[in-house]
Structure 1
Amino acid sequence: MSWWEADDDEDDVFDEADVRVRPNPKANRPRTKRRPAHEDAVIGRVLGVDRGRYRVLIDEDGPEERETTAARARELRKTAIVTGDRARVVGDTSGDDGTLGRIVGIEERTSLLRRSADDTDQVERVIVANADQMLVVVAAADPPPRPRLVDRYLVAALDAGIRPLMVVTKTDLADPGEFLAHFDGLDDLRVFRSAHGAAPTAEIGRALAGHSTVFVGHSGVGKSTLVNALVPDAGRATGHVNTVTGRGRHTSSSTVSLRYRGAAGSGWVIDTPGVRSFGLGHVDPANVLGAYPDLAEAAEDCPRGCTHLPGAPECAIQAAADAGRIGSSRVDSLQRLLETFAAREDY
């Protein structure tokens, strides 16, 4: 039989099934969404982040309290991890030099303080997690107070369910009375005053004990100086105000948690970088009205879509104020906060 003649013997016929394929364990492994349970994970407080490395406090207030460094696990690459988070950490959490743990999960947050780039940006930037108080630091002069920026801080706090406090510094340079009058109608806004660089640290400390308090403020208002007075080993850089522009220099470059220890107890001071703008694109205006229970009750009689701003037709809140059933200062305070949303297309 010639070499080109086919053989009728089926055993001599080759097909693709006879080709030997080298197994590839990675390619042939079935995909799964199951993740390790990490039952050995320990819970820690995120104190700060620097170039992708997180400082985490393990066994807080316990006999083995220690700081450790951790990286983000691959499965959390799309999850924001911020100062104040309660993180689940595995690996080497001894805190010894050269060791590195791994954050594999975040515990449920009790609050989130957020901001956006501007009022039209719906993308939120998480500033801090699990804070229950916000301390707004504002100067009576040098630089002059910015009521609209303070309004924005307060709106963000109310939206997050965080209790607002305020410290007015440099009251020896100017009387803050006219500025503070704007906030007379806001419930539970406690105000502290400082002069000649001396803040009432004992009084403020009593308000900090037992709480996680995030400090916010415009650059140059004395926020870092106040933090250093409350937490002597904080070492936060301080700056000055430009005499020409009236603007302060950014001195705090990152958000960090600092432990406060005072006669009334301990707490956490969360210092944030100074900002000149605070977008509210992520905030629901209804959450601001919720901070005024009596006004919210009156608003139930407002027409649908009522803005509750001055001149709003058939606004039940304004009608109640005109009739003397609600204090005008409270209505003025609410309207000032709601005016921050007036330019938003979605409101």
Structure 2
Amino acid sequence: MVRRSVRDFDESDVRVRPNRRGSRPRTKDRPKHEDAVTARVVAVDRGRWRTVVAEGTAQQRAVTAMRARELGRSPVVPGDLVGLVGDVSGRDGTLARIVRIQERSSFLRRSADDDDATERPLVANVDLMVMVTALADPEPRGGMIDRCLVAAYVAGVEALLVLTKADLRSPEEFLAAYAPLGLEHVVTRRESPAESEDPARPGVVGLEELRERLSGRISVLVGHSGVGKSTLLNALVPGTDRATGQVNDVTGRGRHTSSSALALQLPGDDGWVIDTPGVRSFGLGHVDPEQLLDAFADLADLAEECPRGCTHLEDAPDCALDELVEQGRAGTAGPTRLASYRRLAEVLRRNDPWDV
């Protein structure tokens, strides 16, 4: 037997165990999934996405899906249109995969705090934000409406104010504060025993007007807990059975009854309405003041004549907007538009997401 010195060995004499986990050659080419089926996301539940395939046809069906690894951390929210592969039959126990998210027409979000730019996505592809607030029980708080308006304007989404419980208090005083904004509104109340065919289950007066506003649109309901969002949804889409709750006698605030966002189709309509959980804070840390100004395109053009660093607020020195609006350069609605912009810009400056 010939003995070999250490110097006689090289790397070819060393047995290397193959790394099984990395043995498959990697490629940057991703599958195109040209056979993916389009679906609309209607709910998110513990790592599973509930979707609707073949929307608006006789073949419409519910399909449960999981997120494909290639999507990374891209948020998938109710209202999203996605591409599905795998088993899209919708049979019990089957699971499809979400492999792509289609380009969104709008994307509503909020942050936990005004100095926290981390976005919390709410819904996608909506064209109407329905801000629901009660006139009493709980008491209305305009801060929530102002903040929702900022988020809606920045996202390019129309806004509608719905005032509930008008049987407890007249809406005139509250609406007067929003008249300068030109905000569209609907007022609802419970039917009185004399009006109701079934006193044990009174209907909602004003529901038909609301239904007309929502028809053919993709809407999202936003508001505090206890303001009546779930009651409206149950009336709009019978059989929904969204839980409704009472207002706390001590805090004057509602209890969370909806724990997750849910998209529902309006009966006999191609419209959708998305109910969201009641929120206790609505941060705007993801919104840049310039984004809000851009939402007021007529004012944004005029603001180019302002000095550098101008905040465009009422106390801003040498702000050109005042004089230009006074001259009529912004049109007949100029003063109203400027007041509306400054009101919402003040919301961003206050930096208090709990002022809702």
Task: Give SS of 2:22's match.
Answer: helix
Alignment correspondent of 1:251: 257
Summarize the Cα distance change of 1:63–1:21 in structure 2 as closer, same or farther, 3 Å threshold.
same
Structure 1 position 30 matched with structure 2 position 50: no
After superposition, residues 1-347 of structure 1 pair within 5 angstroms as: 15-19=10-14, 21=16, 23-24=18-19, 26-187=21-182, 189-196=183-190, 198-261=204-267, 265-320=269-324, 328-343=335-350
Summarize the Cα distance change of 1:322–1:181 in structure 2 as closer, same or farther, 3 Å threshold.
farther
Task: Give SS of 1:34's match.
Answer: coil
- 1:29-59 deviation per Cα after TM superposition (whole angstroms, max 9, x unaligned): 4322222222221110011011111111011
- 1:255-308 deviation per Cα after TM superposition (whole angstroms, max 9, x unaligned): 01000125xx43000000011110000012233234434433443332222222
**Where in structure 2 are there 5+ consecutive unaligned residues?**
192-203
In the TM superposition, residue 233 of structure 1 has moved relative to its aligned partner by 1.8
In the TM superposition, residue 168 of structure 1 has moved relative to its aligned partner by 0.6
Task: Give SS of 1:214's match.
Answer: strand
**Where in structure 1 are there 5+ consecutive unaligned residues?**
8-12
Q: In the alignment, residue 332 of structure 1 is paired with which amino acid?
A: A
Task: Provide the TM-score with structure 2 as the length reference.
Answer: 0.86
Distance 2:4 2:20 in 1: 39
Distance 1:330 1:6 in 2: 91
8 A Cα contact 2:188 2:207, kept in partner? no
Q: In the alignment, residue 178 of structure 2 is paired with which amino acid?
A: F
Task: Give SS of 2:39's match.
Answer: strand
Identical positions, percent:
55
- 1:229-265 deviation per Cα after TM superposition (whole angstroms, max 9, x unaligned): 1111211111111222111111111001000125xx4
8 A Cα contact 2:56 2:270, kept in partner? no
Distance 1:116 1:195 in 2: 32
* Range with bigger deviation, 201-210 or 171-180: 171-180
Distance 2:181 2:27 in 1: 52
8 A Cα contact 1:184 1:329, kept in partner? no
Summarize the Cα distance change of 1:293–1:41 in structure 2 as closer, same or farther, 3 Å threshold.
closer
In the TM superposition, residue 313 of structure 1 has moved relative to its aligned partner by 0.8
Distance 2:19 2:250 in 1: 68
Task: Give SS of 2:266's match.
Answer: strand
Summarize the Cα distance change of 1:147–1:6 in structure 2 as closer, same or farther, 3 Å threshold.
closer
Root-mean-square deviation (Å): 2.5
Summarize the Cα distance change of 1:316–1:16 in structure 2 as closer, same or farther, 3 Å threshold.
closer
Q: In the alignment, residue 283 of structure 2 is paired with which amino acid?
A: G
Task: Give SS of 2:252's match.
Answer: coil
Task: Provide the TM-score with structure 1 as the length reference.
Answer: 0.88
Task: Give SS of 1:261's match.
Answer: coil
Task: Give SS of 1:185's match.
Answer: helix
* Range with bigger deviation, 198-207 or 140-149: 198-207
Q: In the alignment, residue 93 of structure 1 is paired with which amino acid?
A: V
Summarize the Cα distance change of 1:200–1:23 in structure 2 as closer, same or farther, 3 Å threshold.
same
In the TM superposition, residue 322 of structure 1 has moved relative to its aligned partner by 6.0
Summarize the Cα distance change of 1:179–1:195 in structure 2 as closer, same or farther, 3 Å threshold.
same
* Range with bigger deviation, 26-35 or 146-155: 26-35
Distance 1:255 1:229 in 2: 17
Distance 1:142 1:247 in 2: 8
In the TM superposition, residue 160 of structure 1 has moved relative to its aligned partner by 0.7
Distance 1:176 1:301 in 2: 40
8 A Cα contact 2:189 2:206, kept in partner? no
8 A Cα contact 1:184 1:333, kept in partner? no
Distance 1:281 1:161 in 2: 18
8 A Cα contact 1:213 1:270, kept in partner? yes
* Range with bigger deviation, 159-168 or 312-321: 312-321
Distance 1:165 1:334 in 2: 17
Distance 1:27 1:267 in 2: 48
Task: Give SS of 1:156's match.
Answer: helix
Distance 1:209 1:239 in 2: 27
8 A Cα contact 1:215 1:270, kept in partner? yes
